[in-house]
Amino acid sequence: MQLLVSVADASEAQAAVAGGADIVDAKNPRHGSLGAVPAQVLHAIHARVGSRTRTSAALGDQTDAAGAALAARMAGDAGMDYGKMGFRGASSAAQVRRVAAAAGPAGCGMQLVLVAYADWAHVGAPEPRRVLEAAVAVRAAGVLMDTVIKGPTLLDYLTSAGVAEWISLVHEAGLLAAVAGSLGASDLVTVRDAGADLAGVRGAACDGGRSGRVSRARVEALSAALRGAPV
């Protein structure tokens, strides 16, 4: 399983790469689980990372095609490998598919990852299976299961067996299965053993929690936990 670390700026990106992150993800944590950073910050993060590792960008929760296309184009123009898009506020499965389809061709070669939420019933988001269906329809690279409400972890909403079942559904669809949601080191081992291809972190990689700063030492410890060192 690979480790994605969400960073707010180029300095944090440097720490994430030095600590062994497999993917550096541009995100403004003060604006929620998919808070987007400005275009200039995206370019600065990509320039700092260079070719040392892959990059991704949070594209926000989108409910209209024009907004989705604009967000994807901005991240694609910055050279990001992946764009993560959610759909809080979308009222139907057809709307999710329509918005996701608009983002697909707008990303300049960037691969799209659709985001489902384990706490979907509490936050006005589509049911996860509808997001998976949309991902198949628009030929997205994968689906990320995350949480909007931070504090509870993904595993407070889904049991380890539930996570494994979800990952199997994503894999059966031929897509990459990613997970996130206030995960700590022991949680990373759990989702790794459940079969996840990728796990995303922010708070666990920071000194001072989610709103703190990414620490090289913390990223190193998380990376070591994934590779079998004691948690």
Catalytic residue among 43, 46, 84, 97: 84
pLDDT at 112 (0 to 100):
97
pTM of this structure: 0.96
Which of 6, 20, 26, 27 is labelled catalytic? 27
Sign of torsion over alpha carbons 192, 198, 203, 206: positive
E strands present in 21-173: 23-26, 54-61, 82-86, 111-117, 142-146
Interatomic CA distance for residues 164 and 104, integer angstroms: 27
pLDDT in tens, the chain (231 residues): 999 999 999 999 999 999 999 999 999 999 999 999 999 999 999 999 988 999 999 999 999 999 999 999 999 999 999 999 999 999 999 999 999 999 987 767 899 999 999 999 999 999 999 999 999 999 999 999 999 999 899 999 999 999 999 999 999 999 999 999 999 999 999 999 999 999 999 999 999 999 999 999 999 999 998 887 555
Active site residue 150: no
Which residue bears the tokens 């541009």? 26
* Cα Dmax for the chain: 47
Q: Do the Cβ atoms of 92 and 133 come closer than 8 Å?
A: no
Q: Which fold has domain 2-218?
A: TIM Barrel (3.20.20)
What pLDDT, on a 0 to 100 scale, did the predictor assign at position 172? 98
pLDDT at 107: 67
pLDDT for 94 equals 96
